[in-house]
Amino acid sequence: MLPSCASIFKCGWCGAITDQNKKKRDEKCLGWRLLRDRCFLSAVLVFMFFVIFGGVWAMYPVVFSVSILWGIFHSIITTILSIATISFFSLAAFRCAGIPPNILWGSYPTVGKGDLENYTFCHYCLKPKSPRAHHCRSCGKCILDMDHHCPFIGNCVGAANHYSFICFLISAVLSTIYVSIMSAYTSLHIWPPSSYSLSRLKGITGRDLAWRLVNEIFIAFLRSALFLSARGLLLVYLFIASVSLQIGLSVLLWQQLSFIYQGKTFLSNLSSQADNDEEEKKDCQNLVRFFGFQHPVSRFLSNFRVTRKRHDT
């Protein structure tokens, strides 16, 4: 037991830990953070719809001119990827990230003995905070199993929307791969023919020949790009943007899956590094449970090995 005037003390009855060093700070910046998140969210939505409708306008006249069946097939793929990406993005952005359970507290008869064991006191929300919760200053509330605050979805990633956020990353990576492949495929059909002269390469041998050849091809490629139509310029932009997003989202997805594999979140990983906690429960079952499979895969596979007993009559 520590005296009540100490900076950190633990209640001997309920078990709650109070840290008086964590004083409540001014929340004047909360409105600016919300405005920032709304701007990021609006920009991401506009960009997603721009890629969808711009890609359809630029690609599908060319795709349908090649083959009608080919165009119908790609229309179905585009519809599935677009609906999946926008749906998971909306669930991650507009669903509550996770609110800790409400616990009665405030007086000796109300709080049961040990009910607030390992709890701390949130000086922002002015109520007990569970060990699985973290206060987000951007959202202005405590989030259960908080992973991080993502300004691009304008929301925290917590217990209630972590699954939707991972599914959004997966669908976004697949969509960017599809857009990059289709934009490159369509560009090959509408790119102006590039002509380069080989007469300038006479008398050049060795490494200079290869360098001059690459140089002539690159210059001819840039000259032909000057004659691109608006559809061609949009395809070039879609290819560059999709490849860039593909790299960034793939790195983020790999990081998130690695934390789930370790049974951690981003914030818990930071706290474990600060505390030098080396105990990690790395298991593929963490990924299986996260994606909704309550039982291990081996349980279903074992059913095929079970044979019925024969009864002799």
3-state class of 141 per DSSP? Answer: strand
Q: Angle at Cα 170 formed by Cα 169 and Cα 175, nearest 5°? A: 95
Backbone angles phi, psi at 137, to 5 degrees: -75, -20
Give the DSSP letter string of 142-210.
Answer: EEET--EEETTTTEEE-TTTHHHHHHHHHHHHHHHHHHHHHHHHHHHHHSPPP---SGGGTT--THHHH
Active-site residue, from 122, 142, 150, 156:
150
Give 32: exposed, middle or buried? Use CB within 10 Å, 0-12, 13-18, 19+.
exposed
Task: Give the neighbor-by-neighbor strand order of the sheet with 8-10.
Answer: 8-10, 17-19, 120-122, 127-129
- Joined together, the tokens standing for residue 168 give 């959004």
150 is catalytic: yes
> How distant is the alpha carbon of residue 138 from its chain centre?
18
Residues assigned a catalytic role: 150
